[in-house]
DNA sequence: ACCTGTCAAGTCTGG
DNA sequence: CCAGACTTGACAGGT
């Protein structure tokens, strides 16, 4: 099994390369000259996109081929203060350059719209803004010229005290999305609400790939092991929306006993090693997204540590090989 | 240079 | 019905 590793949005190694610079709405509305304020937002967005490209160059230098973009590349987009604003004339060039780099080096990239995007919601206004947010993520990927292998990963959402009806709403709302959005979605199990088995059943029903978060699974399950669910999870990547991609998992380690759901600075190699060994024979390729405070530093340390363990062979600066 | 309170967005819990 | 917690990086305003 070939395993690649990636990390989320920002580097702790490359300095002054934030892809998430912003301006507060309060500050925006304080500016007298709206046109000048909008130009400032556009400059921040260009800087965020350029810093993302710098991160990808850093990744390439370290053999890292998997990466999650920040969802805050364009500050305040979608806010009512910016109604009617179209930043794309200015950002088309920078986005295209970023996407070209991704394609040129065969990188796997994704977004993870944050928890304000909730398709299980019973509130129409929340559903509308969620759909608008998903559409905006697709728009960015299209501006980068990336095909449907570039995904947006989301959770199913809240349960509102009635999980079956929340599930039913999710499926119904999913059907309202445009093809271009649905083809780019993946669903991830949650640490509080929809667990891995429940998320998997939704993925199978609506035909989207599932991202297994092994840490979320450890703190939210009905007693079944991740290994026992894996064959079905892996199979969701064989469907039409899997687009020939390797299955993807998220890994992180508990912050502490007092806060088992929080993310620690680094990722412990032991539990991951155990999981990888259990699926290696049946899974030719796997991509692992590291969700740790120490970002790319944690990635390199994890790959280093894994490489010293049973049956693991290092096959690159940010890749290992197991079994077979 | 460094510290603290605040920030677009949602949901859940407890009052 | 409403306030606060949750969680995160970064701003804003202070020292």
Question: Using one digit for the tens of pLDDT, what is the confidence trace for A6-56?
Answer: 999 999 999 999 999 999 998 999 888 999 999 999 999 999 999 999 999
Q: Render pLDDT for A168-196 as a digit per residue (tens, 0 to 9).
A: 999 999 999 999 999 999 999 999 999 99
Within 7 Å of a protein beta carbon, the nucleotides of strand B are 7-13
Helix (H), strand (E) counts: chain A = 11, 10
Q: Is the pLDDT of residue A89 over 60?
A: yes
The distance from CA A127 to its chain's CA centroid, rounded to whole angstroms, is 20
CB-based contacts of A156, cutoff 8 Å, min separation 6: A119, A120, A166, A167, A170, A187, A190, A193, A194, A198, A199, A202
| Spatial separation of the C-alpha atoms in residues A287 and A301, rounded to whole Å | 17
- Residue A324 is predicted with a pLDDT of 57
Q: Nucleic chain C: which protein residues 63-102 of A have CB below 7 A from it?
A: none
Rounded to two decimals, the pTM is 0.97
Q: What is the CA A318 to C1' C10 distance in angstroms?
A: 29
Residue with CA nearest C1' of nucleotide B6: A24
**Is the model's pLDDT at A126 over the cut of 80?**
yes
Distance separating alpha carbons of residues A164 and A220, to the nearest angstrom:
17
- In a 3-state reduction of DSSP, which class is residue A324? coil
A205 touches strand C (CB under 7 A): no
How long is the CA A162 to C1' C1 vector, in angstroms? 21
**Spatial CB neighbours of A93, under 8 Å, sequence gap ≥ 6:** none
Q: How does pLDDT run across A221-280, given as a tens digit for each residue? A: 999 999 999 999 999 999 999 989 999 999 999 988 888 888 999 999 999 999 999 999
Position A323 scores a pLDDT of 86
State whether the beta carbon of A293 lies below 7 angstroms from any atom of strand C.
yes
Q: Both tokens of residue A217?
A: 């699974």
Question: Helix or strand or coil: residue A147?
Answer: coil
* Nucleotide with C1' nearest the A26 CA: B7
Per-residue pLDDT at A194: 95
The DSSP code sequence of A203-238 is HHHHT--EEEEHHHHHHS-SS--HHHHHHHHHHGGG
Task: Give exposure, A87-116, as e/b (b: 16+ Cβ within 10 Å).
Answer: beebbeebbeebbebbeeeebbbbbbbeee
A142 vs A39, A78, A145, CA distance in Å? 23, 18, 5
Count Cβ neighbours within 10 Å for each residue of A203-219 and write b for 16 or more, e otherwise. Answer: beebebbbbbbbbbbbe
Q: Is the confidence at residue A130, as pLDDT, over 80?
A: yes
Structural tokens at position A223: 């007693």
Mean pLDDT of chain A: 95
């Amino acid at each position: 099994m070939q395993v690649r590793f990636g990390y989320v949005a920002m580097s702790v190694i490359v300095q002054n390369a934030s892809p998430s610079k912003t301006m507060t709405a309060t500050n925006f509305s304080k500016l007298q000259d709206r046109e000048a304020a909008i130009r400032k937002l556009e400059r921040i967005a260009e800087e965020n996109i350029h810093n993302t490209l710098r991160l990808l160059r850093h990744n390439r230098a370290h053999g890292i081929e998997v990466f999650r973009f920040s969802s805050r590349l364009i500050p305040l987009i979608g806010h009512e203060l910016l109604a009617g604003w179209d930043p794309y004339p200015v950002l088309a060039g920078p986005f295209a350059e970023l996407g070209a780099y991704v394609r040129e080096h065969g990188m796997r990239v994704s977004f993870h719209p944050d928890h304000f995007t909730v398709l299980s919601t019973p509130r129409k206004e929340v559903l509308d803004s969620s759909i608008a947010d998903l559409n905006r993520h697709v728009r960015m990927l299209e501006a980068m010229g990336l095909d449907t292998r570039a995904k947006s990963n989301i959770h199913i959402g809240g349960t509102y005290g009635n999980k079956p009806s929340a599930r039913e709403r999710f499926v119904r709302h999913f059907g309202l999305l445009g093809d271009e959005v649905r083809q780019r979605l993946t669903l991830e199990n949650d640490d509080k609400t929809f667990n891995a088995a429940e998320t998997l059943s939704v993925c199978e029903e609506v035909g989207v790939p599932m991202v297994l978060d092994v840490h979320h699974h450890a703190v939210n399950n009905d007693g079944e092991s991740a290994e026992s669910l894996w064959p079905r999870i892996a199979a969701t990547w064989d469907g039409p929306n899997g687009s020939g991609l390797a299955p993807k998992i998220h890994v992180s380690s508990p912050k502490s006993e007092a806060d088992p759901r929080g993310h620690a600075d680094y990722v412990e190699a032991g539990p991951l090693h155990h999981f990888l060994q259990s699926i290696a024979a049946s899974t030719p390729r796997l991509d692992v997204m590291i969700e740790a405070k120490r970002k790319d530093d944690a990635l390199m340390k994890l790959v280093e540590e894994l490489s010293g363990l049973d049956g693991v062979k290092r096959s690159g600066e940010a890749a290992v090989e197991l079994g077979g």
